[in-house]
Amino acid sequence: MIFSVIRKDKNTNARKGKLVLAHGEVDTPCFMPVGTQGAVKTITPEELKSLGAQIILSNTYHLGLRPGIEIIEKAGGLHAFMHWDGPILTDSGGYQVFSLADLRNISKEGVTFRDHIEGTLHTLTPEKSIRIQQALGADIIMAFDECPPYPSEYDYTCKSLDLTLQWALQSRESHTDGPQILFGIVQGSIFPDLRRKSVEELEGIGFAGYGIGGLSVGEPKSLMFEIAEYTAGLLPSEKPRYLMGTGTPDDLITQIAFGVDMFDCTVPTRYGRNGTVFTPYGKMVVRNARYRDDHRPIDEECGCYACRHYTRAYIRHLFNTGEILGNRLGTLHNLHFYLKLMKGARQAIAEGEYEKFKKEFLNNYSGSEFQ
């Protein structure tokens, strides 16, 4: 059993579960810190572990360009290369090809594109994406997909979905069964019938888990929640559900109630690195001048390394003077916040109190800046 649901919440669709992967176990719902280029920006694997991270995400597209797959293969795979011995999930490259590269041509076979760094021409196909991900050696790999932008016309989304389903089948066929497991990706933009079609056809092919893709690409938040809830509800309950690339703390807490098990997002690392930190009361732009003479920690209640030892005034000073230690402290604080939040959510589900937990969190948390 790769995935087991340990406890289902009474009043919501939230569930607590466990993934048993090649490089270790992961308690769900989980948040996966993003290590796009084979490093979670600014921090070490040891720090990730001490923060409670059980799984991280990395990117086929970026690693394929730099340093190149053959280098990582020679290093003994991504785990050895980056000195992280826990579970890794790699994205297929589909999302990045469509969001970062200059597209040249999409065909049934795959995508030809110019990369965003050197402008060199590349081809990525489902077979190639799977082969690369197998070479990287991640615990969970993703099917190759097209992620339509928002908004997309119904007709375009239909055609795109057919291609993605064809690529899902080819991805599945290219995948060698082994300790590495393959997830399919549900697309269909904001169209419920296409989301349903996507889920049904992917289930027909059969995957170890399912990603919900194509959300958090510019649509209103209410629409994102609607589609995420609808799609999560269609997915088989015995398989892990991974909502891709989203989001803020309130997004996570809301969407755990839909039955989502896995999240990844660059928000905590990117925000933290740039001087915006999360608290139970909302986000705080600690790099702002208003904190220059504020000698309290970011959050009095927080037990992270940054809050135990440093003040807002000091952290603001680090950002103000371009000191990299500031980027580190912001990142550590935010990842601590996210991972502790997930732990709290799991505990609330285990105690049958997720609805209360969610309500309390969302009542305290303000989307605007906390001072």
Active site residues: 91, 264
362 near its own copies (CB under 8 A): no
164 near its own copies (CB under 8 A): no
> In residues, how long is the chain?
371
Q: Closest separation between CB of residue 280 and its own copies, Å? A: 24
23 near its own copies (CB under 8 A): no
236 near its own copies (CB under 8 A): no
221 near its own copies (CB under 8 A): no
b/e burial code for range 293-306 (CB count within 10 A of at least 16 → b): ebeebbbeebebbb
- How crowded is the C-beta side of 302, counted as CA atoms within 13 Å? 30
What beta strand segments (E) does 130-194 contain?
140-142, 181-186
Sign of CA dihedral 101, 198, 265, 279: positive
102 near its own copies (CB under 8 A): no
**153 burial class (0-12, 13-18, 19+ CB within 10 angstroms)?**
exposed
Q: Are 354 and 14 in contact (CB under 8 A)?
A: yes
Instruction: Find the part of the chain contacting its own copies (CB under 8 A) among 5-13, 33-41, 143-151, 230-238.
Output: 33-41
96 conformational bin, left if phi > 0, alpha if psi -120 to 50, beta if neither: alpha
120 near its own copies (CB under 8 A): no
Of residues 34, 47, 120, 114, the one with CA closest to residue 83: 47
Q: Which is nearer to its own copies, 67 or 280 (CB)?
A: 67
205 near its own copies (CB under 8 A): no
71 near its own copies (CB under 8 A): yes
The DSSP code for 34 is B
- Contacting its own copies within 77-96 (CB under 8 A): 81-83
266 near its own copies (CB under 8 A): no
206 conformational bin, left if phi > 0, alpha if psi -120 to 50, beta if neither: left
Strands 15-21 and 209-212: unpaired
Q: Closest separation between CB of residue 314 and its own copies, Å? A: 6
Q: Closest separation between CB of residue 76 and its own copies, Å? A: 8
Q: Which two tokens stand for residue 206?
A: 């059969």
314 near its own copies (CB under 8 A): yes
Q: Which of 19, 21, 26, 43 binds its own copies (CB under 8 A)?
A: 43
327 near its own copies (CB under 8 A): yes
Q: Which of 49, 74, 104, 356 binds its own copies (CB under 8 A)?
A: 74
67 near its own copies (CB under 8 A): yes
Q: Which of 238, 293, 351, 369 binds its own copies (CB under 8 A)?
A: 293
Q: Which of 104, 292, 356, 359 binds its own copies (CB under 8 A)?
A: 292
Of residues 163, 361, 368, 338, the one with CA closest to residue 262: 338
Binding positions for its own copies, rule: CB under 8 A: 37-39, 41-44, 62, 66-67, 71, 74-75, 81-83, 273, 292-293, 295, 309-311, 313-314, 316-318, 320-321, 323-325, 327-328
